[in-house]
Amino acid sequence: MIFTKFSAFTSRTFGDVAVLSGIIAMISVAGLMIQDRSLRGRDYRVIGLSGASAVFELGAWRFAFTPLLWGILFFMLAAPFFALVAGALVPAYGVPLTFKTMSLHAFQEILFRQAVTRTAFINSLSLASATALGLLVVTVLAAYALTRRRDAVSRIVSSLIEIPYSLPGIVMAVSFILVFAAPIPFLHVSLYGTIWIILIAYFSSFFAVSLKPVVSAFHQLDPALEEAARLSGAGFFRRLFDIVVPLIAPAAGASVILVFLIACNELTISALLWSAGTQTLGVAIYNLDDSGSSDLASALSVLVVLMVVVMMLLLELLAKRLPKGVVPWRS
C-alpha cells in the first residue's frame, strides 16, 4: 500500500505514509511490550555453552513424514532454483526449455558484458560486510549496556531500536532522503547519491537484527562470572574479551551471518537510494526484470544463489576453527 501511494504521488502522500508507518510502529512496539511482559521475572542464565540439541524420535511415523518433508523442501528450495535456471537458459519468458532454445547467452552477458552487474556484486558484498562487522561491534557494547540496566530507560531504548526494522524499507529510504537531501550542516558534505547513505540506512534498519541474538545471549550469562573477574581485578575490556565475548561468540557469529545475507540481497531500501555506480544486487535484478530482460534477471539471480552457496561452503570449512554455534546449521 505504501509503495502504491508513492507511485501515485500527490500532495497527501507523505502524510498518508506517515500515518501507515506510525500504525506499523505501534504494532511493533505493542508486540515488544507483550514479549517483555511475558519474559519479565524469568531467568534463563546458563554457565558456559548450552547442551546438546533436542532430538525427536518419530518411530514408525518417520516413513510417512520423511517423504513429506523432502517434498516440502523440494517445493520450497529446489523448485524455485530450477525455475530460475530454466528462465536463464531460454531467450525470453514463456519460451519452453528445449535443446534448441537452451543457451548460455544470458550468463555470458551478465558475466562478461554487463559492467553494472560487476559493480552490483562489489557494492552488495562491500555494504553487507561493512554492515555486518560494523554492527557486531556496536551491538556487543549496546547489548551489554541494555542487559546490565534493568530499568524503564533500557526497555524504551530496546523498543525504539526495533522500530526501524519493523518499518517497510521504502519508508526508511524516504526518511533518509529527507534527512540527507541537503548537505550536512557545518561539514557541507552531501551523502545523497553516494553509497554512504545506503550504508547508514542499512545500519539503522538492520540494527535490531544484529542486536536481538546478542541480547538473548547476554540474558543467558550468569553475572557471577563477570563479578568474580571484577573481584580479581580484571578491568572492563579484560572481562569483555576473556569472559563475555567467548560465551556470546555463537550468537554474535550467527548475527553476523544473518545480517550479511539479508543486506547482501536487500532491495526495498536501496531501490530509492541508489544512483549511478551504487547499484546493489537487488536493484540490478529488479531493473533487469522491469526492463523485460527476464533471462538476464534469472541468470543474475542464479549467480547470487551460487555465491551464497559458496559462502556457506567456506563457512563449513572454517567451522572447525570457530566456536561451537557460530555456524548456525551446525548447532
Tell which residue, 315, 308, 294, has the closest CA to residue 93. Answer: 294
- Looking at residue 326, its pLDDT comes to 67
The verdict on residue 130 lying in a domain is: yes
120: domain range?
43-63+114-330
- Looking at residue 197, its pLDDT comes to 93
- Looking at residue 328, its pLDDT comes to 66
Beta bridge partners of 98: none
Q: Please provide the average confidence, as pLDDT, over all residues in the chain.
A: 84
CATH no. for residue 203? Answer: 1.10.3720.10
Mean pLDDT computed over 153-180? 82
Q: How far apart are CA 197 and CA 182, in angstroms?
A: 12
323 or 148: which carries more pLDDT confidence? Answer: 148
- Looking at residue 78, its pLDDT comes to 92
- Looking at residue 4, its pLDDT comes to 83
- Looking at residue 241, its pLDDT comes to 82
What does the pLDDT look like over 236-281, one tens digit per residue? 888 888 888 888 888 888 888 889 988 988 888 898 888 888 999 9
3-state SS class at 184: strand
* % residues pLDDT > 70 (the chain): 93
C-alpha cell at 12: 497527501
The verdict on residue 292 lying in a domain is: yes
60 or 45: which carries more pLDDT confidence? Answer: 60
Q: What angle do CA 189, 190, 191 make, to 5 degrees?
A: 120
The verdict on residue 134 lying in a domain is: yes
Helices 115-148 and 281-290 pack at an angle, to 10 degrees, of 130
The verdict on residue 96 lying in a domain is: no
The verdict on residue 97 lying in a domain is: no
Does pLDDT of 135 surpass 90?
yes
The verdict on residue 76 lying in a domain is: no
The answer to whether 206 and 259 have CB atoms below 8 angstroms apart is: yes
The verdict on residue 103 lying in a domain is: no
Q: How many domains does the chain have?
A: 1
- Looking at residue 82, its pLDDT comes to 93
- Looking at residue 54, its pLDDT comes to 66
Tell which residue, 177, 168, 217, 219, has the closest CA to residue 197. Answer: 177
Helices 294-318 and 115-148 pack at an angle, to 10 degrees, of 50
- Looking at residue 95, its pLDDT comes to 84
The verdict on residue 84 lying in a domain is: no
Does pLDDT of 284 surpass 60?
yes
What does the pLDDT look like over 185-243, one tens digit per residue? 877 788 888 899 999 999 999 998 898 888 888 877 777 887 888 888 888 888 888 88
Mean pLDDT computed over 278-295? 90
Q: How far apart are CA 175 and CA 164, in angstroms?
A: 11
pTM recorded for the entire structure? 0.81
- Looking at residue 221, its pLDDT comes to 79
